[in-house]
Amino acid sequence: MLPVLAVSGGDVWLISTPFGRCGFFYRAWVEGGPGWQRVKVPATECPRIRPENLARDRITMGDRWFRQEYLCEFAANEETLFPEELVRKAIKYDIQPLFV
């Protein structure tokens, strides 16, 4: 719980689009546990947003940014040398150290 809320007993509302797989918003969404209520509304489900505008923006922004900003996806950072999934697959916790 955030320090201010520990005193007041209030609520936290996080309203954002994802910005990669990092930061407080990402951790609260992925690791926040059952204490967090998550609401996801992609632009494709909003009747006020015209499909032709979405199609135009997908071309203009590129697929990754479009998915992040309009489809509420935590897209992987393209600037990394190795994709996150590849690094996670390479980590082994059951290997014994050579030297103690």
The domain tally of the chain equals: 1
What pLDDT was estimated at residue 2? 60
Bigger pLDDT: 76 or 37? Answer: 37
Encoded tokens for 63: 């697929």
Task: Express each pLDDT in 43-100 by its tens digit.
Answer: 999 999 999 999 999 999 999 899 999 999 998 776 667 777 787 888 888 888 787 6
Angle between helices 63-70 and 51-61 (to 10 degrees): 130
Residue 25 placed within a domain: yes
Residue 37 lies in a domain: yes
CB atoms within 10 A of CB 57: 16
Confirm whether 99 is domain-assigned. Answer: no
Structural domain of 54:
3-90
Give the pLDDT of residue 61. Answer: 93
Please report whether residue 78 resides in a domain. yes
pTM of the model: 0.66
| 96 falls within a domain | no
